[in-house]
Structure 1
Amino acid sequence: MELEDQVFNSLLRYTKALSVALGYRDLLTRLHSERVQGLSVNIGEYCGLSHKEINALTIAASFHDIGKIGIPDYILLKPSQLDEAEWDVMKRHSEIGEKIMLSTELEGSQQAALVIRHHHEHYIGTGYPDKLSGKNIPICSRIITIADSYDAMATTRSYHHERTHLEIMAILHEETGKKHDPELMPVFCKIIESSKFRTAKS
């Protein structure tokens, strides 16, 4: 475990610059990533993930949106909904993020990169980039998908207003078994009610 921690701390140290860079490019995305990381780790620990899996989850959740560095400003910062062509470009951020993480060539980066690549896959196989389904999606990716969805709806974006906790939970329940893992959702529901990452807007 000591060696695993050394690998994790090394990866975390050398990727910190990525977080700073993302903050300068898009502060809202960086703050969102920090909240998603905290919530994802809470879920992972409750699920009993191994020490190595928690480390990969921590890194991947922190940088799940790092690929947005490679998305043009006119799309990333557009103050309205994206059209189909723009959305196709935006969806590339998960693959770009994978490549950025892999480019560090650090031990442990491969597992984190895989999780980043698949954090927009849907449980029924309608997500991107590879249309994976069910347990074929890495569990850390499935966890991030839930945390990411919750926080995205809990914050105001240029194209939508923040939703209340009850509104968000209703949407997440509707998406369970479609977008979200039906086995992980009960865990999330239990954790979020007392979590510091729960939106104050009831």
Structure 2
Amino acid sequence: MKLEDQAFNSLLKYTKALSVALGYRDLSTQLHSERVQGLSVSLGKSCGLSHNEINTLIVAASFHDIGKIGIPDHILLKPSKLDKTEWETMKQHSEIGEEIMRATELEGSQQAALLIRHHHEHYNGMGYPDNLSGEKIPICSRIISIADSYDAIAVKRSYHHVRTHSKIMDILHQETGEKYDPDLMRVFAEIIESSQFRAAKT
């Protein structure tokens, strides 16, 4: 899965409008995506991904939640937990995101779209949309999954308080092997300690 520099630069240039659109729809999701990109790239580099794999990861992490553009406001912006029906609708954002990225028809968009589709798969096969498990999940999607969860838990929501870095890591470790790749989590646990995106310790 490669994305050469020229194609990478073109893809970022012509998809920038998507990021702007997402920011107008839901600024918190746009800012979250920027932090997830930073965490994902750090983890990818620490795992020895190639330059071209990192390029693809940058695009996919930046737009992993772009499909939320297609989620109705009463669900996307709901200030409390979603009910079962609402959650099923929210889960569609990974497939919508894949469709949006593919629709650009730019070189490299197909690879990025696949990673976006699978960023909510779980290591034990209980995720969505395709119930992939283990190494059947693209490594970049497994990376985005960890970064996405860390930042989502760290940010204050109306239905949960701000959590400390240690509490977030406790939650992630408890779900490692179920949601998250154990090998990637070991690396993440090291790099997050010196990351600019680390949550407060207290």
Interval containing the TM-score (normalised by the shorter chain): over 0.9
Residue 201 of structure 1 deviates from its aligned partner by 4.3
Cα deviations across residues 109-150 of structure 1 (Å, max 9, x unaligned)? Answer: 011000000000000000000000000000000000000000
Partner of 1:133: 133
Partner of 2:89: 89
Partner Cα distance (1:162, 1:23) in 2 = 22
The one-letter code matched in structure 1 to 2:173 is: H
Partner Cα distance (2:90, 2:13) in 1 = 28
Partner Cα distance (1:58, 1:168) in 2 = 24
Partner of 1:178: 178
Assess if the C-alpha contact under 8 Å between 1:78 and 1:158 holds in 2. no
Partner of 1:8: 8
Q: Which runs of 4+ in 1 moved over 2 A?
A: none
Partner Cα distance (1:123, 1:113) in 2 = 20
Pairing 1:52–2:74 present = no
Over the aligned positions, Cα root-mean-square deviation in angstroms equals: 0.9
The one-letter code matched in structure 2 to 1:87 is: W
Partner Cα distance (2:201, 2:159) in 1 = 19
Partner Cα distance (1:11, 1:83) in 2 = 36
1:17-166 superposed matches below 5 A: 17-166=17-166
Local SS of the residue matching 1:184? helix
Partner Cα distance (2:201, 2:62) in 1 = 24
The one-letter code matched in structure 2 to 1:103 is: A
The one-letter code matched in structure 2 to 1:99 is: E
Partner Cα distance (1:189, 1:5) in 2 = 30
Residue 76 of structure 1 deviates from its aligned partner by 0.3
Instruction: Give the length in aligned residue pairs.
Output: 200
Residue 200 of structure 1 deviates from its aligned partner by 2.0
The one-letter code matched in structure 2 to 1:166 is: S
Partner of 2:196: 196
Assess if the C-alpha contact under 8 Å between 1:64 and 1:116 holds in 2. yes
Local SS of the residue matching 2:114? helix
Partner Cα distance (1:193, 1:38) in 2 = 14
- Identify unmatched segments of 5+ residues in structure 1: none
Residue 161 of structure 1 deviates from its aligned partner by 1.8
Local SS of the residue matching 1:119? coil
Partner Cα distance (2:61, 2:187) in 1 = 18
- Identify unmatched segments of 5+ residues in structure 2: none
Residue 159 of structure 1 deviates from its aligned partner by 2.3
Residue 199 of structure 1 deviates from its aligned partner by 0.8
